[in-house]
């Protein structure tokens, strides 16, 4: 938000209101996720819900739950929600099925998995956006998958299978 603004910019996230006349903040709000996130990039970011209000300092992150309650985010939650601000994908112990959605969202990688039991494996990633190869390598090592081309289709297979 530009400094010296006479009218506040107001961000709405469900029932949450974040009015600002100056400063920086970031939000994450995907309809398929159970919570929304707000991170203050500068001091003085006010977040108001019907259940209460908070003013954040730079670096603080709030989790806004869909039932209109809020709580402080853990360090992992903040890294996962806002890793994109630092140019990286951060996932912590998520199912491969969810990691695959993130690969498609952030890298436009449409990789097939033929064995549906692999979707239930878990994986953690902390990889830069500029390298889809690093994301694939992270999936391979973290979830014990093997990337290969089958005809013209990118696929992951079970690295433990013979």
Largest CA distance in the chain: 66
Is residue 110 within 8 A of residue 133, CB to CB? The reply is no
- In tens, the pLDDT along 28-77 reads 999 888 999 999 999 988 898 888 899 999 999 999 998 889 999 999 99
pTM: predicted TM-score of the whole model, two decimal places: 0.83
Average pLDDT over residues 100-128: 96
d(CA 56, CA 37): 12
Closest CA to 74 of 89, 88, 90, 98: 90
pLDDT value at residue 14:
84
Residue 78, H or E segment: helix 75-82
Rg (CA), the chain: 19
C-alpha distances (whole Å) from 15 to each of 12, 75, 107 are 7, 25, 31
Is the pLDDT at 100 greater than 90, yes or no? yes
Average pLDDT value for residue range 91-108: 96
Instruction: Provide the pLDDT for residue 5.
Output: 63
Residues recorded for the chain: 162
pLDDT band at 96 (very low <50, low <70, confident <90, very high): very high
Tell which wins on pLDDT, 3 or 112. 112
pLDDT per residue as tens digits for the range 8-18: 788 888 888 88
Q: In the structure encoding, which two tokens stand for residue 106, read together?
A: 């952030």
């Amino acid at each position: 938000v530009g400094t010296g603004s006479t009218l506040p910019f107001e961000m709405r996230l469900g029932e949450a209101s974040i009015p600002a006349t100056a400063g920086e903040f970031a939000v994450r709000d995907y309809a398929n996720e159970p919570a929304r996130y707000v991170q203050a990039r500068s001091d003085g970011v006010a977040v108001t819900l019907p259940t209460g209000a908070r003013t954040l300092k730079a670096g603080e992150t709030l989790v806004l739950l869909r039932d209109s309650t809020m709580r402080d985010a853990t360090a992992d939650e903040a890294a996962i929600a806002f890793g994109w601000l630092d140019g990286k994908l951060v996932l912590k112990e998520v199912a491969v099925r969810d990691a695959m959605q993130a690969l498609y969202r952030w890298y436009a990688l449409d990789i097939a998995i033929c064995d549906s039991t692999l979707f239930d494996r878990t994986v953690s990633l902390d990889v830069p956006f500029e390298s889809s190869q690093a994301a694939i390598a992270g999936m391979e090592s973290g979830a014990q998958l093997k990337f290969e081309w089958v005809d013209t289709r990118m696929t992951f297979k079970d690295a433990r299978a013979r």
